[in-house]
């Protein structure tokens, strides 16, 4: 907690020139202090003005001093706490009779009697304070403002702070006040009782206690020292700090300099007090004004630790040690972050995202066919009072969850009264490896007897990481731990396996409830991306999110925060990377996964490319020799394989078992629990290293290309292989020939102009046009990102990951290629075409691109025939009508597939040239023009208004106009990222198209019946 202490401003004509000169420098200084660490409270200990003859003077100082001060450090007006000083009183003289009466009071009882009666004499004795009293009543309209004291309760950093401002100038007059002032003891009791149960008590008074009358000073000191922790004062314009010991804890007395006034030799400046409420350690920094330079530099600092009795000292020691433990745990938690060294000091807590915890596993939820809604979601706060075992896949954030629990418990220890003990069972190999008493002695620096006492008296939450029910000593250790304490809660984390769905865990015969960590959703991805890339614009973040979902699904990468953070770290680190380049992202991902820098440190003679070659050959060995074993080896086989590689490669000097352990540690390889065999942990990683092998083994590439039964199983490997050798025109030529041959019959079947075929095949476009014309586009508002995520997750959740490698099964081609297999053919060619960015053969590029476009169009036509076949089989007219309408969506599906497969931002110029060629004969190139126009818009809608103009002007086929309206509506709802001018432009274009589709529609009676989720399903 940080307090800015000001005093003795004496605002008024006398010091106006001084204040005007110093004030800007003062504001600059406190702003810098506040930027370093937030100021929580300002206390002002009297003499705000030169005199209190007019209430307008208080209004003026509020406007010219208080408001600028609190605004400069962004603090609320209620956090500026005032105390009255003798200069804040008016010059009105008190009636002599009242003065004489009060002067005759000889003890505290008589003074309390006078105070409690509040008769006319008391009221008259307060008259000179009336202007100040009226001002503070108006300023603090919610606080307890009494005549001889004001009380304030403030919540600061989750601590309740009680503050009392005492009206010591009540008996002050011109001249020396020493030994003349009075404070009724009952006033202190009343003030203290008005703010009960505070964590810290602060008293403010303008005058020091030794200005009180002799009969009054002793009793006031006793009460103040007993009830309050800090006393701030002013008046004498000197800095003085002192500590007084009492029966419980001490009280610190702090006197401040005059803030900005005085030509009488007074010290000018202010102080800043930092207080640790848990340990009562206090740092005071004094800032003294240097007139010549007009600055307030830090002149001195003083450290205090309030003395306390033995019981209080023991309590404070626990709090202090827990604070140290929190610092250590924070460092351990920060080390879990992939990007901590590059995060700009953003901590684990700042970047933490709560996992999705449910009673049913993701697998069980999928079985129930209700992935997102099955079961309640548990939050971290629910883990504090019950025993749980939390199952999760590797890198699903189990350790992070426990560390966050530990930090939360340490942060809220004063409220929850629970000591968190984190223990990692991963490397525990002995029953005596864990001792609670040793852990308590280590944390709190206690001897055995006191450690035992603390264990007996305290509540614990055991946070056990990497628990394994199949290891008997884990249960023995856990049971021994919990027998040592009376009150405890246990939170276990364990690897999710098939057994975890049916197993039951008990501690000392007490059943433990199961929870499961689920894969992350699009909304989770967006939240984490926003934290990770806080300084990136929303459009780029959206593009990154979409790319992550695409790559994770394609490469079968788990949807969890670790892998998500890894990809985001790569993108942030490699600023020149193209987000549309899957292979470039994947290469950097593998480099980070392998910790390329660490490999260099393992042995200075090892070559990273040689290391990747080993993994490439390992992948090939799995494919060629270990298919019956699901691409796995025994440990002996793995050691033998690496040893033989080492024998062949003279430069490979690293120890064999060291390499294997490294690959297991980094999650490249894994050991199957049920078989004890070793394989690649992720299918996508194995595919990458298969592509690495392909770069040096053209015979293997040819074998894949020539084996029709397996070729389609290598789609990802071929795309990666193309990205690893971007000049490989031979590969493009071979893929072109293979795809052309596969599509020979289909492309021959649809050799006519695609516009004519489309016109002949889509006969029911009017039904769709009628629905489209009924959409009230003017009322449509772009859907917010989080709502988009909810809709997308409901339509198609991102969690498609299945752990482990997939064995490639041969494809049955007895009846020729299916439509889906043909689609896979053209997808492979399209992705390779996109990755082969350094090919200069324009003829080959044009041939392959034309084949890709033609084939996607013709697949769509063939799909229409399948729809017609289904329609003919239907016996109900309504079903036939609905099935017929489906054909109207084929151009849209074709466009989406084409963009998804081949679009890259470096192809925009190529596509623009294609458009220019086709626009020479717009009427006979409608379909292709529509596809190419929307490829440009998919690449960048913001800078392609002219393309929108072109597509709405040049495309006249009614079946394609339906597609245009739906696609533009999709942009409107999902892609604008707050671009209001483009929103207006799109709405106008869509309305115009609606009227073209159904000329009889009345613009003013369009009905708002758009189903956005239906639209999303169609897209």
Least confident of 379-383, 414-418, 657-661, 709-713: 414-418
- Burial label for 999, CB within 10 Å (0-12, 13-18, 19+), is exposed
919 and 775 in a single domain? The answer is yes
501 and 410 in a single domain? The answer is yes
First to last CA, the chain: 54
**Cα–Cα distance measured from residue 529 to residue 533, given in angstroms and rounded to the nearest whole number:** 6
Strands 281-288 and 269-276: antiparallel
**Residues 378-394, mean pLDDT to the nearest whole number:** 90
**Cα–Cα distance measured from residue 864 to residue 862, given in angstroms and rounded to the nearest whole number:** 5
Under the banding of pLDDT at 50, 70 and 90, the label for residue 565 is confident
β partners of residue 377: 358
Structure tokens at 64: 């010219």
176 and 247 in a single domain? The answer is yes
Name the domain boundary from 248, 283, 307: 307
Query: Cβ of 53: how many Cβ atoms within 10 Å?
Result: 15
Backbone region of residue 387 per phi and psi (left: phi > 0; alpha: psi in -120 to 50; beta: other values): beta
Mean residue pLDDT of the chain comes to 85
Under the banding of pLDDT at 50, 70 and 90, the label for residue 430 is confident
Q: pLDDT at position 904, please?
A: 85
Q: Please, are residues 305 and 314 in contact by the beta-carbon 8 Å criterion?
A: no
Q: How many domains does the chain have?
A: 4
Q: In sequence order, which ranges of 509-634 are alpha helices (DSSP H)?
A: 522-532, 538-555, 561-573, 582-593, 596-602, 608-625
**Residues 285-314, mean pLDDT to the nearest whole number:** 83
- Highest average pLDDT, of 253-267, 292-306, 776-790, 866-880, comes from 292-306
Phi/psi of residue 611, each to 5°?
Answer: -65, -45
Look up the CATH number of the domain holding residue 261.
Answer: 3.60.21.10
641 and 750 in a single domain? The answer is no
Query: Cβ of 875: how many Cβ atoms within 10 Å?
Result: 6
Least confident of 41-50, 339-348, 629-638, 764-773: 764-773
pLDDT digits 0-9 by tens, 470-486 = 888 888 888 888 888 88
pLDDT at 999 over 90: no
DSSP state of 93: P
pLDDT at 781 over 80: no
511 and 530 in a single domain? The answer is no
Least confident of 612-626, 669-683, 904-918: 669-683
67 and 173 in a single domain? The answer is yes
| Alpha-carbon distance values, 834 to 150, 581, 849, 859, 910 (Å) | 74, 8, 10, 20, 12
Structure tokens at 768: 């769709």
- Residue at 65 is within a domain: yes
451 and 531 in a single domain? The answer is no
Tell which wins on pLDDT, 84 or 979: 84
Tell which wins on pLDDT, 555 or 5: 5
Domain range for 202 is 2-307
pLDDT digits 0-9 by tens, 63-75 = 999 999 999 999 9
Listed residue (530, 486, 533, 538) closest to 508, CA to CA? 486
**Cα–Cα distance measured from residue 804 to residue 556, given in angstroms and rounded to the nearest whole number:** 9
pLDDT digits 0-9 by tens, 803-840 = 678 899 999 888 889 999 999 999 999 999 999 999 98
Look up the CATH number of the domain holding residue 451.
Answer: 3.40.50.300
Least confident of 435-449, 598-612, 633-647: 598-612
pLDDT digits 0-9 by tens, 871-912 = 565 555 545 555 555 677 889 999 999 998 998 888 999 999
861 and 989 in a single domain? The answer is yes
- Residue at 424 is within a domain: yes
751 and 873 in a single domain? The answer is yes
pLDDT at 431 over 80: no
| Alpha-carbon distance values, 721 to 297, 547, 576, 701, 901 (Å) | 64, 19, 21, 9, 16
pTM, entire model:
0.68
DSSP characters for 780-797? --PPPHHHHHHHHHHHS-
Name the domain boundary from 282, 307, 332: 307
198 and 241 in a single domain? The answer is yes
Under the banding of pLDDT at 50, 70 and 90, the label for residue 648 is very high
**Cα–Cα distance measured from residue 669 to residue 682, given in angstroms and rounded to the nearest whole number:** 8
Phi/psi of residue 517, each to 5°?
Answer: -85, 125
pLDDT digits 0-9 by tens, 919-956 = 999 999 999 999 999 999 998 888 888 999 999 999 99
Q: pLDDT at position 309, please?
A: 65
Q: pLDDT at position 600, please?
A: 60
């Amino acid at each position: 907690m940080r307090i800015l202490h000001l005093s003795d401003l004496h605002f008024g004509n006398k010091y106006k020139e001084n204040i005007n000169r110093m004030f800007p420098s003062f504001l600059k200084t406190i702003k810098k202090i506040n930027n370093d660490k937030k100021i929580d409270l300002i206390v002002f200990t009297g003499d705000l003005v030169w005199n209190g003859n007019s209430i307008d003077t208080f209004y003026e100082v509020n406007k010219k001093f208080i408001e600028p001060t609190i605004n400069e450090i962004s603090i609320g007006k209620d956090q500026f706490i005032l105390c009255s000083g003798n200069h804040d009183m008016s010059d009105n003289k008190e009636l002599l009779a009242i003065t004489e009466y009060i002067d005759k009071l000889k003890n505290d009882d008589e003074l309390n009697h006078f105070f409690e009666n509040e008769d006319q004499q008391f009221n008259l004795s307060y008259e000179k304070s009336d202007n100040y009293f009226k001002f503070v009543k108006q300023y603090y309209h919610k606080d307890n403002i009494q005549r001889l004291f004001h009380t304030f309760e403030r919540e600061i950093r989750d601590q309740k702070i009680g503050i009392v401002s005492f009206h010591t100038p009540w008996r002050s007059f011109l001249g020396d006040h020493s030994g003349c002032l009075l404070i009724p003891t009952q006033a202190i009791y009343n003030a203290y009782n008005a703010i009960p149960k505070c964590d810290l008590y602060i008293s403010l008074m303008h005058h020091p206690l030794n200005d009180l009358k002799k009969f009054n000073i002793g009793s006031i000191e006793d009460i103040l020292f007993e009830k309050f922790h800090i006393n701030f004062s002013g008046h004498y314009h000197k800095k003085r700090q002192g500590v007084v010991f009492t029966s419980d804890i001490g009280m610190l007395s702090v006197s401040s300099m005059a803030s900005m006034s005085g030509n009488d030799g007074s010290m000018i400046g202010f102080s800043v007090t930092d207080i640790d409420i848990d340990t009562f350690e206090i740092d005071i920094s004094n800032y003294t004004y240097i007139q010549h330079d007009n600055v307030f530099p830090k002149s001195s600092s003083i450290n205090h630790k309030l003395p306390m009795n033995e019981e209080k000292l023991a309590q404070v020691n626990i709090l202090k040690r827990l604070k140290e433990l929190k610092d250590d745990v924070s460092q351990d938690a920060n080390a879990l972050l992939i990007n901590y060294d590059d995060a700009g000091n953003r901590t684990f807590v700042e970047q933490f995202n709560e996992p999705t915890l449910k009673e049913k596993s993701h697998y069980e939820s999928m079985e129930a066919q209700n992935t997102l809604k099955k079961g309640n979601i548990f939050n971290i706060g629910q883990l504090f009072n019950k025993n749980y075992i939390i199952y999760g896949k590797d890198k699903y954030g189990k350790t992070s969850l426990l560390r966050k629990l530990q930090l939360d418990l340490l942060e809220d220890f004063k409220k929850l009264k629970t000591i968190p003990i984190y223990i990692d069972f991963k490397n525990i190999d002995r029953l005596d490896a864990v001792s609670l008493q040793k852990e308590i002695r280590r944390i709190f620096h206690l001897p055995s007897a006191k450690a035992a006492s603390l264990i007996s008296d305290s509540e614990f939450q055991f946070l056990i990481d990497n628990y394994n029910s199949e290891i008997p000593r884990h249960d023995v250790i856990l049971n021994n731990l919990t027998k040592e304490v009376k009150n405890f809660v246990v939170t276990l984390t364990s690897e999710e396996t098939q057994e975890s769905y049916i197993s039951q865990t008990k501690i000392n015969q007490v059943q433990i409830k199961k929870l499961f960590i689920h894969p992350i959703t699009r909304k989770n991805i967006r939240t984490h991306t926003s934290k990770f890339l806080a300084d990136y614009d929303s459009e780029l973040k959206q593009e990154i999110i979409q790319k992550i979902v695409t790559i994770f699904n394609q490469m079968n990468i788990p949807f969890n925060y670790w892998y998500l953070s890894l990809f985001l770290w790569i993108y942030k680190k490699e600023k020149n990377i193209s987000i549309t380049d899957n292979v470039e992202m994947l290469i950097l991902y593998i480099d980070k996964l392998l910790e390329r820098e660490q490999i260099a440190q393992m042995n200075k003679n090892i070559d990273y490319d040689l290391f990747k070659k080993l993994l490439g050959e390992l992948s090939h060995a799995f494919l060629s020799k270990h298919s019956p074993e699901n691409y796995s080896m025994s440990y002996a086989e793995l050691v033998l394989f690496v040893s033989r590689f080492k024998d062949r490669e003279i430069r490979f000097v690293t120890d064999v078992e060291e390499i294997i352990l490294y690959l297991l540690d980094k999650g490249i390889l894994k050991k199957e629990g049920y078989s004890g065999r070793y394989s690649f942990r992720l299918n996508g990683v194995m595919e990458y290293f298969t592509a690495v092998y392909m770069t040096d083994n053209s015979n293997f590439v040819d074998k894949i290309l020539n084996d029709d039964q397996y070729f389609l199983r290598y789609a990802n490997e071929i795309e990666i292989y193309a990205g690893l050798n971007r000049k490989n025109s031979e590969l493009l030529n071979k893929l072109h020939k293979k795809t052309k041959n596969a599509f020979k019959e289909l492309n021959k079947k649809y050799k006519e102009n695609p516009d004519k075929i489309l016109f002949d095949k889509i006969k029911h476009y009017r039904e769709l046009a009628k629905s489209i014309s009924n959409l009230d586009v003017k009322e449509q508002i772009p859907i917010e990102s989080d709502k988009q995520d909810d809709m997308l997750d409901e339509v198609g959740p991102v969690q498609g990951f299945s752990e482990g490698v997939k064995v490639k099964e041969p494809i049955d081609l007895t009846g020729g290629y299916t439509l889906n297999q043909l689609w896979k053919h053209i997808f492979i060619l399209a992705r390779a075409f996109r990755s082969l960015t350094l090919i200069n053969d324009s003829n080959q590029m044009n041939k392959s691109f034309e084949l890709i476009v033609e084939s996607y169009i013709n697949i769509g036509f063939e799909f229409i025939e399948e729809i017609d076949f289904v329609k003919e089989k239907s016996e109900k007219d309504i079903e036939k009508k609905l099935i017929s309408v489906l054909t109207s969506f084929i151009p849209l599906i074709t466009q989406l597939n084409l963009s998804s497969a081949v679009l890259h931002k470096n192809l925009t110029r190529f596509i623009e040239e294609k458009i220019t060629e086709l626009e020479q004969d717009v009427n006979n190139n409608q379909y292709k023009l529509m596809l190419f126009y929307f490829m440009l818009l998919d690449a960048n809608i913001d800078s392609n208004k002219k393309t929108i103009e072109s597509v709405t002007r040049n495309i006249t086929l009614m079946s394609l106009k339906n597609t245009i309206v739906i696609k533009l509506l999709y942009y409107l709802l999902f892609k604008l990222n707050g671009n209001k001018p483009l929103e207006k432009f799109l709405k106008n274009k869509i309305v115009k198209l609606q009227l073209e589709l159904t000329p009889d529609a009345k613009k003013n009676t369009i009905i708002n019946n758009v189903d956005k989720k239906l639209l999303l399903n169609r897209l």
